[in-house]
């Protein structure tokens, strides 16, 4: 399916929609993983700084069997968690992972489609 439609997807994205996607930056999403609660943390240059601690821990409100999670951190970590304590019967409404394929065209096909059009990626520095 992807092979048969990839060319038209790029034509639609870059032509009709004007998105300026580079080759390989179009994704076909085939699935997802959902959760009631989530947490994420990031850090950089940890080796250059003093040691730090990072722990993801459940916290109960004492009234239900549901848990909220929190980070305890010392050092260069940036953390974030989902909001309130979710009810056990609450729907899984937080997408935490996606599954899919990166769609690329051969250089010959790409050149034929976008000859004379420069498509570049914007990179954060």
Domain extent at residue 81:
37-90
CB 19 within 8 A of CB 122: no
Same domain for 7 and 52, yes or no, is no
Residues 6+ apart with CB under 8 A from 114: 14
The residue ranking higher by pLDDT, 5 or 39, is: 5
The residue ranking higher by pLDDT, 125 or 70, is: 70
Q: Please check the confidence at residue 24 and state whether its pLDDT lies above 70.
A: yes
Q: Judge if pTM exceeds 0.75.
A: no
**Tens digits of residue pLDDT in 80-116:** 888 666 666 777 888 889 999 999 998 889 888 887 6
pLDDT of residue 39: 86
Tell me the average pLDDT across 23-27. Answer: 92
pLDDT of residue 27: 94
Beta strands in the chain (DSSP E): 26-35, 39-42, 53-60, 67-74, 78-81, 94-103
Which residue do the tokens 């990626």 mark?
A: 121
Quote the CA–CA distance of 7 and 104 in Å, as a whole number: 9
How many other β-carbons are positioned within 10 Å of the β-carbon of residue 30?
10
Same domain for 85 and 57, yes or no, is yes
Same domain for 58 and 32, yes or no, is no
Count how many domains the chain has: 2
**Tens digits of residue pLDDT in 39-69:** 888 887 766 657 778 888 888 777 766 677 8
Same domain for 44 and 81, yes or no, is yes
Q: Please check the confidence at residue 117 and state whether its pLDDT lies above 70.
A: no
Q: How far apart are the first and last CA of the chain?
A: 36
Same domain for 81 and 56, yes or no, is yes
């Amino acid at each position: 399916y992807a092979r048969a439609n990839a060319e038209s997807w790029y034509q639609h994205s870059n032509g009709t929609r004007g998105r300026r996607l580079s080759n390989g930056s179009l994704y076909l999403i085939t699935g997802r993983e959902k959760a009631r609660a989530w947490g994420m943390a990031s850090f950089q240059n940890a080796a250059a700084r003093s040691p730090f601690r990072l722990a993801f821990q459940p916290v109960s409100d004492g009234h239900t069997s549901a848990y909220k999670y929190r980070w305890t951190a010392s050092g260069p970590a940036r953390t974030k968690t989902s909001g309130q304590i979710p009810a056990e019967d609450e729907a899984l409404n937080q997408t935490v992972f996606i599954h899919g394929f990166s769609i690329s065209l051969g250089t010959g096909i790409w050149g034929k489609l976008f000859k004379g059009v420069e498509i570049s990626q914007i990179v954060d520095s």
